[in-house]
Amino acid sequence: MDNQLPLFYGLSFLTVAIAFAFAAYLYLWVKKQKTVNKKIEEVSQLIKEGANTFMRREYAVLARFAIIAAIVILLLLPSPIWNGNVLDNIAMTLAYLAGTVLSAIAGKIGILVATLSNGRSAEAAKKGIKPAFLIGFRGGAVMGLLVVGCSLFGVAAVLMLTGNASILLGFSFGASSLALFAKAGGGIFTKTADISADLTGKVELGIPEDDPRNPAVIADNVGDNVGDVAGMGADLFDSNVAAMASALVIAQSLSGGEYANISMVFCYAILGLLASIIGIATARIGKHGNPTKALNSSTYVTTGIFLVLTAAATALFPGFSWRIWGAAAVGLLVGVIIGITTDYFTDDSKPIVKKVAHASQSGPAFTVLSGVSYGFISALPAMAGIAVSALIAYQLCAPMGEGYAIFGISMAAVGMLSIVGMIISNDAYGPIVDNARGLAEMGGLGEETIRTADELDSAGNTVKAVTKGFSIGAAGLTVISLLGAFMSEANDALVLAGREPITGFDIMSPTVFFGILIGAAIPAVFSAMLILGVDKNAQRMVAEIHRQFKTIAGLKEGRKGVKPDYGKCIDIATSGALKELIPAGLMSIAATVAVGLIGGPLAIGGFLLGNIVSGLLIALFMSNAGGLWDNAKKYVESGEEGGKGSDAHKAAVIGDTVGDPFKDTAGPSINTQITVVSLVASLLSSLFVAFSLFG
Amino acid sequence: MDNQLPLFYGLSFLTVAIAFAFAAYLYLWVKKQKTVNKKIEEVSQLIKEGANTFMRREYAVLARFAIIAAIVILLLLPSPIWNGNVLDNIAMTLAYLAGTVLSAIAGKIGILVATLSNGRSAEAAKKGIKPAFLIGFRGGAVMGLLVVGCSLFGVAAVLMLTGNASILLGFSFGASSLALFAKAGGGIFTKTADISADLTGKVELGIPEDDPRNPAVIADNVGDNVGDVAGMGADLFDSNVAAMASALVIAQSLSGGEYANISMVFCYAILGLLASIIGIATARIGKHGNPTKALNSSTYVTTGIFLVLTAAATALFPGFSWRIWGAAAVGLLVGVIIGITTDYFTDDSKPIVKKVAHASQSGPAFTVLSGVSYGFISALPAMAGIAVSALIAYQLCAPMGEGYAIFGISMAAVGMLSIVGMIISNDAYGPIVDNARGLAEMGGLGEETIRTADELDSAGNTVKAVTKGFSIGAAGLTVISLLGAFMSEANDALVLAGREPITGFDIMSPTVFFGILIGAAIPAVFSAMLILGVDKNAQRMVAEIHRQFKTIAGLKEGRKGVKPDYGKCIDIATSGALKELIPAGLMSIAATVAVGLIGGPLAIGGFLLGNIVSGLLIALFMSNAGGLWDNAKKYVESGEEGGKGSDAHKAAVIGDTVGDPFKDTAGPSINTQITVVSLVASLLSSLFVAFSLFG
């Protein structure tokens, strides 16, 4: 009875068109803001070039990976080409490539608009919080609208053209695999530059954060763009696609009956995008307003609008179930709650950050120990939130019929990600105003302007913690539904092979248990590899900075006309990141394949579970501990616990340096690692059914 | 056909008697070693008094806890006293109390012999490695023999008297609950003192580690005894009892048939103790021998003897299966392999420690980041080892009949712990020679003797990492079998209530999944609470040390006759530890009860799984990272990477301080936390069946 589907395809494309048009309007609005400062324009240009060079080289590496993966997919998926339907394999390959290309475009456009907005926001900061905020926010919103638009467009197009939701897994895998490497590569780049700039500048020489004498300062600003804008865009593109894809795979496998499940998924995605558009359009800040409040209140407005619109749609359209609405609402609300608890642990007006700042008075070991401890504790409420929302969504939807319980969980993930357009806008705002702060300093815009930029920047940091909570939570729920998708794919293969289908993954089975233990170790090893990548790379860059200060006469003293070789630092960050980004991702994929070939589908079920559980734990720990340390340092710098230059400050800087790769390299890459592993498992399920040692 | 059981009860008591007699002989041998140095005797006395005071106050707190727990057990377990068999409840209560008392005795005697051996070992170090090593090792062996003897005696006596293996769970819970608090309390005490002494002495004043001017120096030495000797003894007593108890619960639930399962468990335990006795008796070191090699080779000798003896017994006795022998052998071998990989990550002659030491040159943030990364990576081989041994043990024993597969896993745990007598001897050796090093310095025995003591101490550190790998691995396997024990207990209750028994815990069930996520967060929160306890307590003690240096005239300068107030520091460590030891343990127990009451037995199954998986990961991470940092610091102190006083050294000291509560407070307490939670779940299974919100 899902005969409304053509309507929703139409509405999807219409909404995407509206979103793109609105993004274009915002882009032009940002573009027409005045720029006059030559120095800022020049540095801005350097940042843009650096970012574009990195992206070009990174995409060149990733294109090779994508082509190899595409060939493998063409030959093997959904079933080996020599005994299957050739057209299906071609469709899957094209969907995969479309996923990679759309992901790359989202990242590319994000960089374009971010490097356009940063200088303009810096100059606007001369006039106060309000105009600078609006430029930063609207720049971010262009990215948010495009990412969500691309994902809705891609999913709707693939499903409309193929009619086969399984093909969506290929599209989703394209998005994820690119996101995995983009996030890892960007994350390594940005933290290499950030840590090296801080250590040599702030700690050794005692010069300010964005002092133009520091050879790593441009690389640091480039890093904000390639790591936080492009990487984060790819990440949320991927999460959003994965959530929709898994919901649609499950929806298609349901008997349907009286329910219009597929239409409902699209309807909710459309309304989420509409709610985000309204939220973005109405975002406001007073002349002396608080930017954190402004960002958060637009999130709450969007949440409210989404809930009202979806309730109306559920009442209006035949075959839309209130139970499913409940599941989506629970997902969204739990996302908000996770955000609030994350905020509690990482906001410097709350007690935890103050405690860590206070512990810094006893030395850096205490900064690290207390940050690690609170980071671990902060994982509990978020994990409990995910657990409870899965439980409620399941219980709500189970009475609708067989398979609906797991569909409910997938709709909770869709609900949690429904306002992702808003989330990305807030998130991309962060690096833009971070850059603006740097440009204000390098352009010599004066103390007052830098202070304004600082305030905008600090809001970006706080809000980032909240949005990370959202994306980790959504990854958790999505992967549960991907586990369901994996089971249904594996069962198709098992039934084809004339074997008994799997009814579940019992933890008492040693094969499942084997998978669980290995799966749980993978996120730990994955994040360790990324952190070691940053570690190695930063050591190289620190050596280069030392060399420049030693050999370039007059650089340290700031003699007029003497400039560091910014390009060399960008180059080190780039080549290091490109070298280190592949192994960790490949290790995760290889481990999945190895476990599948040893233990078969049962082991893979356990593997995915272990991976989710420890992935969530480590991601939450790392993201929150990192945010905590960053803000504890800012809190000390605001004059507390001895203020700048005190021993507590030195200890807090060390904490922040430890936290940098935690929160911006490893932590946020884990989501993507979890998703990629789940998709690989689903895609290769028939392989694991056919060949496995103990399966 | 298990009619040989009386024989094995008899042999158990006989072997225990031999072990006790041998322990008495070693004790007297240590006691008759000469002591002449007045200063050492005086300090030794202070350490002994401090340790005894702490133990007295700790046991006073624990006795109150034990009495409350005993009353609850008497009223409710195995079934509510008002509708069950009163005698069973009395038996369970008495078994519980016996478990706590034997655990306390093991700890107490350990302290006695350790405080006897430390001074003697210091004085013997004047004559060289050999005599000092023997005193340290034999002192440790007294503890090892007593702990294993007590556990075999207790288990055999409880089973012989009651004939009901379920009662053993009560005995095991007594041992575990005491171990949980003793390990946490001792761990907080020892690291409070260690960190405070290092920070104020080594870092601030630049005085040597065990300088008698430092007010915390005696507290530090007391800590080695109450944390590493008493705490570790309680921990391994608990692991050993839990492994045997779960194997026996499963063995009793098996149909038996042609197999003599219960006899086999006792036989292997007896032979493990005999092998340890032989290993201890034959431990030798050359005049200029390497103590690490001597300790490790006795471990290998014991392993070999155990394998040969058990093979002989398996051939000899009717109803002993080679498959079970295989499972035990796999467990033991995997234990050894885990030990070797742990050694690879933590030994300073291997590359990892050198890399971390090298990273320290770039500053403490890199020490921390690289240590965290390698700590995470080090978890993979151990977890894979546990996974593979469980898989092999299961596959080996599954053909023997229903239920044998899980019995095989429990026998792998028994095998891994079979040589625990040897393990404890090696482990208790560590704090004794650590104390000896301190006494050699405080007694003014000269550079040469201190160097000898240093060498002995460093061997203790390396071997400690290996033994920790063993106890974590064994905890992992034991808890899998406790999961089996929980399921069988829960099913008894379900069948009694006229409900369907559980056939497994499917991770696709949201109730199980809910339990898994909460369970996975608990070890993180638990370890965070302990670390924060150390953190807070150390801040108090550092303040006290600063006060003493400020107010006691001539103390800093080392004027003759001026002494610090050692007692005040011991007092701070004691009261802090007693305050902080209860909440973390209670939180774990309360979380188990809460999850059980919300989600019933299915949620508890998931909870236990999540708890094991993340517990293993965090415990391995923390123990190995801590060991790694400790040895990286020692490596730098040996003159590498700039040597003592260099920036790399300062960074390495910070890494070591972070690692201290990781490896000696939180990491090793997690085993016990996992075991306690599993036992609580098994004991309360009928409660969760009767009352639960969603179960």
Tokens of A552: 């370039």
Tokens of B668: 């090793």
As a whole number of angstroms, the distance between CA A227 and CA A185 comes to 8
Judged by average pLDDT, the poorest of A274-283, B297-306, B485-494, B510-519 is B485-494
| pLDDT on residue A503 | 85
| pLDDT on residue B290 | 87
| pLDDT on residue A17 | 97
Nearest CB partner across the interface for B542, out of A362, A383, A606: A362
Query: Sign of torsion, CA B225 B231 B233 B234?
Result: positive
Q: B446 pLDDT exceeds 90?
A: no
Cross-chain Cβ contact A517/B199 below 8 Å:
no
A468 falls in which pLDDT band (50, 70, 90)?
confident
Cross-chain Cβ contact A621/B409 below 8 Å:
no
The shortest C-alpha distance from A466 to chain B (Å) reads 20
Average of per-residue pLDDT values in chain A: 90
Per the CB < 8 A criterion, the answer to whether B620 and B383 are in contact is: yes
As a whole number of angstroms, the distance between CA B192 and CA B95 comes to 34
Q: What are phi and psi of A216, to 5 degrees?
A: -95, 0
Question: Which residues from B are below 8 Å from A503, CB to CB?
Answer: 506
Cross-chain Cβ contact A373/B609 below 8 Å:
no
B447 burial (CB, 10 Å; 0-12 / 13-18 / 19+) is exposed
Model pLDDT for residues A519-557, shown as the tens digit of each residue: 999 999 999 999 999 988 998 898 899 899 889 888 888
A196, A472, A513, A647: which to substitute to probe chain B, counting the most B Cβ within 10 Å? A513
DSSP summary character for residue B506: B
As a whole number of angstroms, the distance between CA B92 and CA A340 comes to 46
Q: Is any Cβ of chain B less than 8 angstroms from the Cβ of A527?
A: yes
Measured N-to-C along each axis, helices A447-496 and A291-316 cross at an angle, to the nearest 10 degrees, of 30
Question: Which residues from A are below 8 Å from B538, CB to CB?
Answer: 362, 366
Question: Which residues from B are below 8 Å from A539, CB to CB?
Answer: 359, 362, 366
A452-466, B6-20, B445-459: range with highest mean pLDDT? B6-20
A345, A507, A542: which to substitute to probe chain B, counting the most B Cβ within 10 Å? A507
Cross-chain Cβ contact A654/B364 below 8 Å:
yes
Q: Is any Cβ of chain A less than 8 angstroms from the Cβ of B543?
A: no
As a whole number of angstroms, the distance between CA A581 and CA A183 comes to 9
Nearest chain B residue to A374 by CA: give it. Answer: B528
A334, A370, A376, A396: which to substitute to probe chain B, counting the most B Cβ within 10 Å? A376
Name every residue whose Cβ is closer than 8 Å to that of residue A432 and which is 6 or more positions away in sequence. A114, A117, A118, A121, A135, A136, A139, A140, A229
Q: B401 pLDDT exceeds 90?
A: no
Nearest CB partner across the interface for B513, out of A384, A390, A606: A390
Model pLDDT for residues B544-555, shown as the tens digit of each residue: 998 998 898 888
DSSP summary character for residue A403: T
Nearest CB partner across the interface for A510, out of B394, B503, B525: B394
As a whole number of angstroms, the distance between CA B153 and CA B16 comes to 7
What pTM value is reported for the model?
0.92
Please give the distance of CA A206 from its chain centroid, rounded to a whole number: 33
Give the CA count within 13 Å in the CB-facing half-sphere of A536: 15
Model pLDDT for residues A64-80, shown as the tens digit of each residue: 989 999 999 998 877 77
Name every residue whose Cβ is closer than 8 Å to that of residue A597 and which is 6 or more positions away in sequence. A688, A691, A692, A693
Nearest chain B residue to A654 by CA: give it. Answer: B365
CB contacts under 8 A, B 459-488 vs A, are 480, 483-484, 487
Q: Pseudo-torsion of CA A40, A42, A45, A46, nearest 10°?
A: -110
Model pLDDT for residues A188-201, shown as the tens digit of each residue: 999 999 999 888 88
Nearest chain B residue to A530 by CA: give it. Answer: B373
Cross-chain Cβ contact B510/A405 below 8 Å:
yes
Model pLDDT for residues A558-609, shown as the tens digit of each residue: 888 888 898 899 989 988 888 888 899 899 999 999 999 999 999 999 999 9
Q: What share of chain B is helix, strand, coil (3-state, %, to 5)?
A: 85, 0, 15
With H, G, I as helix, E, B as strand and everything else as coil, classify residue A506. Answer: strand
A333-342, A559-568, B4-13, B232-241: range with highest mean pLDDT? B4-13
Cross-chain Cβ contact A199/B362 below 8 Å:
yes
pLDDT average, residue stretch A135-155: 94
Indicate the residue type of B603: A
DSSP summary character for residue A205: I
Asked if the peptide bond before residue A208 counts as cis, ω within 30 degrees of 0, the response is no
Q: Among all chains, which residue has been given the structure tokens 């933890």?
A: A507
Average of per-residue pLDDT values in chain B: 90
Residue environment code for A624-657, b if the CB has 16+ CB neighbours within 10 A, otherwise e: bbbbbbbbbbbbbbeebbbeeebebbbbbbbbbb
Asked if the peptide bond before residue B523 counts as cis, ω within 30 degrees of 0, the response is no
Per the CB < 8 A criterion, the answer to whether B136 and B117 are in contact is: yes
Nearest alpha-carbon partner for B436 in B266, B289, B221: B221
CB contacts under 8 A, A 658-677 vs B, are 658, 661
As a whole number of angstroms, the distance between CA A572 and CA A564 comes to 14
Cross-chain Cβ contact A528/B364 below 8 Å:
no
Model pLDDT for residues B383-394, shown as the tens digit of each residue: 999 999 989 999
CB contacts under 8 A, A 82-141 vs B, are none
As a whole number of angstroms, the distance between CA A74 and CA A55 comes to 27
Q: What is the DSSP string of B465-529?
A: HHHHHHHHHHHHHHHHHHHHHHHHHHHHHHHHTT-PPP---BTTSHHHHHHHHHHHHHHHHHHHH
Q: A11 pLDDT exceeds 50?
A: yes
As a whole number of angstroms, the distance between CA B153 and CA B147 comes to 10
pLDDT average, residue stretch A299-321: 93
pLDDT average, residue stretch A420-425: 90
Tokens of B580: 């902080």
DSSP summary character for residue A502: P
Q: B1 pLDDT exceeds 60?
A: no
Q: Is any Cβ of chain B less than 8 angstroms from the Cβ of A490?
A: no
Q: A694 pLDDT exceeds 80?
A: no
pLDDT average, residue stretch B535-541: 89
Q: A285 pLDDT exceeds 50?
A: yes
As a whole number of angstroms, the distance between CA B409 and CA B412 comes to 5
Per the CB < 8 A criterion, the answer to whether A611 and A523 are in contact is: yes
Q: Is any Cβ of chain A less than 8 angstroms from the Cβ of B365?
A: yes
- Which residues partner with A154 through β-bridges? none
The shortest C-alpha distance from B661 to chain A (Å) reads 9
| pLDDT on residue B135 | 94
Q: What are phi and psi of B506, to 5 degrees?
A: -85, 125
Nearest alpha-carbon partner for A685 in A614, A597, A568: A597
Nearest alpha-carbon partner for A646 in A238, A232, A452, A364: A364
Tokens of A667: 């932590």
Question: Which residues from A are below 8 Å from B487, CB to CB?
Answer: 508
A256 falls in which pLDDT band (50, 70, 90)?
low
Q: A455 pLDDT exceeds 90?
A: no
Judged by average pLDDT, the poorest of B122-136, B199-213, B589-603, B635-649 is B199-213
Nearest CB partner across the interface for B613, out of A195, A487, A517: A517
Nearest CB partner across the interface for A531, out of B372, B524, B617: B372
The shortest C-alpha distance from A161 to chain B (Å) reads 32
Tokens of A647: 């021993």
Q: What are phi and psi of B401, to 5 degrees?
A: 140, 175
Per the CB < 8 A criterion, the answer to whether B189 and B534 are in contact is: no
Nearest alpha-carbon partner for B222 in B536, B528, B568: B568
Nearest alpha-carbon partner for A480 in A564, A621, A386, A382: A386
| pLDDT on residue B695 | 65
Model pLDDT for residues A643-684, shown as the tens digit of each residue: 888 999 999 999 999 999 999 899 888 988 998 999 899 888
Cross-chain Cβ contact B517/A616 below 8 Å:
yes
Per the CB < 8 A criterion, the answer to whether A47 and A225 are in contact is: yes
Cross-chain Cβ contact A542/B384 below 8 Å:
no
B411 falls in which pLDDT band (50, 70, 90)?
very high
Give CA angle at B444 (B443, B449), nearest 5°.
Answer: 100
Q: Is any Cβ of chain A less than 8 angstroms from the Cβ of B657?
A: yes
Cβ count within 10 A of residue B99:
31
As a whole number of angstroms, the distance between CA A368 and CA A351 comes to 17
CB contacts under 8 A, A 203-242 vs B, are 203
The shortest C-alpha distance from B172 to chain A (Å) reads 22
Model pLDDT for residues B569-607, shown as the tens digit of each residue: 998 998 888 888 889 989 999 999 999 999 999 999 999
A481-485, A591-595, B229-233, B446-450: range with highest mean pLDDT? A591-595
pLDDT average, residue stretch B140-152: 94
Q: Is any Cβ of chain B less than 8 angstroms from the Cβ of A535?
A: yes
Question: Which residues from A are below 8 Å from B511, CB to CB?
Answer: 391
The shortest C-alpha distance from B294 to chain A (Å) reads 33
Cβ count within 10 A of residue A450:
22
Please give the distance of CA B487 from its chain centroid, rounded to a whole number: 26
Q: Pseudo-torsion of CA B197, B141, B16, B78, nearest 10°?
A: 30
Q: A1 pLDDT exceeds 60?
A: no
Cross-chain Cβ contact A387/B609 below 8 Å:
no
Nearest chain A residue to B616 by CA: give it. Answer: A517
Nearest alpha-carbon partner for A606 in A476, A487, A477, A497: A487
Which segments within B70-126 are labelled E, that is strand? none
Nearest CB partner across the interface for A513, out of B375, B377, B390: B390
Q: Is any Cβ of chain A less than 8 angstroms from the Cβ of B35?
A: no
CB contacts under 8 A, B 583-642 vs A, are 599, 605-606, 609-610, 613-614, 616-617, 621
Q: Is any Cβ of chain B less than 8 angstroms from the Cβ of A538?
A: yes
Name every residue whose Cβ is closer than 8 Å to that of residue B687 and which is 6 or more positions away in sequence. B76, B596
| pLDDT on residue B256 | 64
Q: What are phi and psi of A12, to 5 degrees?
A: -60, -50
As a whole number of angstroms, the distance between CA B121 and CA B153 comes to 31
Q: Is any Cβ of chain B less than 8 angstroms from the Cβ of A197?
A: no
Q: What are phi and psi of A689, to 5 degrees?
A: -70, -40
Q: Among all chains, which residue has been given the structure tokens 């509990």?
A: A380
Share of chain B above pLDDT 70, in %: 99
Please give the distance of CA A464 from its chain centroid, rounded to a whole number: 10
Cross-chain Cβ contact A614/B614 below 8 Å:
yes
Per the CB < 8 A criterion, the answer to whether A152 and A16 are in contact is: yes
Question: Which residues from B are below 8 Å from A372, CB to CB?
Answer: 528, 531, 658
